Structure 1
């Protein structure tokens, strides 16, 4: 028997299955990153965004597709991470608009929902680029609208087939994809979602359960729970700096004393998250493995009581740490101006704090904060005007979305790099009016040239450069300019290209993979070479990048 109509329950199962499929394939989607640098996070961002949409309705007993669609759209909107996640949230927002007023929908009404999803997605992007996720959602909607299938399962089969055929053509639409010999990552992520939805219909899947996310931040549907249903009261998170390679014994010790457990090892750091009633015991077991840091324990019952007292769109529904956020001192009088900065690396975080940033959200490459993360920070600030420094091109859309949802005056300064963010806040003048400061900061970031030194995560050929896994890469304004084997030499090479006769200042932020003594020797050589320029060097302690460099 086919599906001539689908209600909220069926749609929910479709999206849960899609979320599970994307979670399984997110690493593959990440691997389609055009550049072979360790920052491919499209699959992760889309998976976490979709997961948040599902969690928003996980405990609703509702058959109306209108209500399920609307709540899913809200969950996706608040959980949106990265550009791909924001676009995905807009697709769900459009679908919700298209099925508005319906308890269930037939094939034509569902097709119209997809069409609205495509319209909202295109509207969200200032300069839409074909060959991306936008092209795939448009293809999906066009296929659905043109279909004569009454059975929605058959309609979705055609949608998936046509979307895949268009995805296969994306390398012909974007030369950079053709050079890298990959299809678009966002488009692939959306295809996985569409296929997951179709699979649920094809196999008549009922009561689909959301699988646990691997290494992802566990979101809470706290507002849908009664306090008495919170079995484990303390959200406990921390890092263990350890050389141990086997964490299975540790994981087994924890599995019976809590839930929502995530124990993930990343090189010499073990990331731990668990809901438990005995955080002290958890910490006593963890310290046996190594030195601990970033310990955070939240009372979820207390937070739940707080959640119930704030209005719908301003809910602090996450009971998790907001990417290493620092606690704010409560001030009796509102400040005229306040700053939020997205940053990663203890050294760089400290620089922003020293420059007067009120709230530092830890995030950036591979760890994009969500719309809700940023919105929560905005709402906690006691300030008339809030500036947000995204410091990453993949965070700007989420920041803009958070600004639109806030009832405060929020200005997102479109900083795409850490050095741009630092320059922006140094251009700030507390005596200026709001618009004067916006102009001053935007003018200042235009004077900054940024370069980074990282490593290749895979073999590829790009811009006539033969790149092997493990090669050191030097990028200037996001483009690979130098390939080598020595990080100091590559850094020196990109500085050569970045400097000119009008350059006055070189700023260097060295990361976790650099020796302080070697860096000091390197800087001494630069001071001789660029004797007429000021050279500043800081321990950024950032992951992934050996060096972040700026020239002004």
Structure 2
């Protein structure tokens, strides 16, 4: 999992400018590549200090510092689901934009079927991809086909179909077949996005978030199988040639702002907030951060919405709780990825 997210951070850093260049849905703000990169970076960095149990260490029973370690900490480092959940929660807390928020939802949900397992198998991967795509679709108040959601769904369905034909085979070969099928289906879904959304068809480009998700899935295949990334996946994708101009040059600016925050809410207040934000704006994404409620029965939520004016949205949010990690970004001002993405990421 750490190797996967490290590869994804590097790949998205390398491709952020081209992803930004074709980002026109749901708003043409040219930041999908940057948002995915920063969100994946947060997930990866959450795991950088978490070495597997026993890696370069003495056994716990002879290490003096082991007496002060939290119970189960070392066991969790060998638990695929626990490690991925840690990364997912970090991504959720720092998620940027629509694409970053949806990827963090994907990551958190994928961790759930993997909990308690020290090894990834074809059946576990298929279950994880399916859970993740369902959760991502449900996080949006108004999900739209032809986006990264469609790519997630295609990958999950292909993985499930191949795994079903393996009759419980938990070999690495079966896992490889599932990974290949997921990436292949993701590529086909990316190609289809251009015809699923009128705005993409008019601009002759595929969906930026979909391409980002394809890169992330290929990084997973590469990390698990120990193979190189398949650079040919991107060949021929409309709008993705390096010589293609930035698509936003002649497009009008989008009005409004993107509001994001993290907030603890009861289930009723969460439902109320989603309804109120749906009335105020669009691109509403709400997803739970972590599985447990606090002592007052409230869960942490990551909230994302596009609105004409931030004041009413922030007023509704603050009427229901005390938000943290609040950000308000102008949709009309494309963010320059060169100011965010490190040279190492590129």
TM-score bucket (shorter structure): 0.5 to 0.7
| Cα offsets for 1:314-361 (capped at 9, x unmatched) | xxxxxxxxxxxxxxxxxxxxxxxxxxxxxxxxxxxxxxxxxxxxxxxx
Contact 2:110 2:129 in 1 (8 A): yes
| Cα offsets for 1:82-125 (capped at 9, x unmatched) | 11111111111111112122121211111111111111111111
Cα displacement (A) at 1:18: 1.6
Q: Within 1, Cα distance between the matches of 2:259 and 2:333? A: 22
| Cα offsets for 1:276-315 (capped at 9, x unmatched) | xxxxxxxxxxxxxxxxxxxxxxxxxxxxxxxxxxxxxxxx
- Is 2:106 the counterpart of 1:83? no
Cα displacement (A) at 1:19: 1.9
Q: Within 2, Cα distance between the matches of 1:145 and 1:413? A: 30
- Is 2:142 the counterpart of 1:127? yes
Contact 1:65 1:104 in 2 (8 A): yes
Alignment of 1:394-473 (within 5 A): 397=285, 407=298, 416-417=307-308, 420-422=309-311
Q: Look at both structures and tell me which one has the larger radius of gyration over its CA atoms.
A: 1
Contact 1:95 1:114 in 2 (8 A): yes
Cα displacement (A) at 1:198: 1.7
Contact 2:149 2:210 in 1 (8 A): yes
1:21 to 1, 11, 17: 11
Q: Within 2, Cα distance between the matches of 1:421 and 1:130? A: 27
1:99 to 108, 111, 114: 114
Cα displacement (A) at 1:183: 0.7
Alignment of 1:279-290 (within 5 A): none
Instruction: State the partner residue of 2:151.
Output: 136
Q: Within 1, Cα distance between the matches of 2:80 and 2:29? A: 37
- Is 2:214 the counterpart of 1:191? yes
* Pairs aligned (count): 247
Cα displacement (A) at 1:34: 2.4
Question: Pairwise CA RMSD of aligned residues?
Answer: 4.0
TM-score, normalization: structure 2? 0.60
Instruction: State the partner residue of 2:129.
Output: 114
Contact 1:389 1:421 in 2 (8 A): no
Cα displacement (A) at 1:421: 3.4
Instruction: State the partner residue of 1:172.
Output: 195
Q: Within 1, Cα distance between the matches of 2:17 and 2:293? A: 31
Contact 1:34 1:182 in 2 (8 A): no
Contact 1:81 1:369 in 2 (8 A): no
Cα displacement (A) at 1:392: 8.0
RCO comparison, higher one (Cα < 8 Å, 6+):
2
Contact 1:389 1:413 in 2 (8 A): no
2:183 to 148, 160, 172: 160
Q: Within 2, Cα distance between the matches of 1:409 and 1:59? A: 24
Query: Runs of 5+ in structure 2 lacking a partner?
Result: 53-77, 229-255, 266-272, 321-330, 337-346
Secondary structure, aligned partner of 1:168 = helix
Cα displacement (A) at 1:174: 1.3
Change (3 A) 1:76 1:190: same
Q: Give the number of the structure whose residues are more often helix, by fraction.
A: 2
TM-score, normalization: structure 1? 0.39
1:67 to 54, 61, 82: 82
Change (3 A) 1:34 1:106: same
- Is 2:89 the counterpart of 1:200? no
Change (3 A) 1:453 1:114: closer
Alignment of 1:151-550 (within 5 A): 151=173, 152-203=175-226, 371=261, 374-375=262-263, 397=285, 407=298, 416-417=307-308, 420-422=309-311
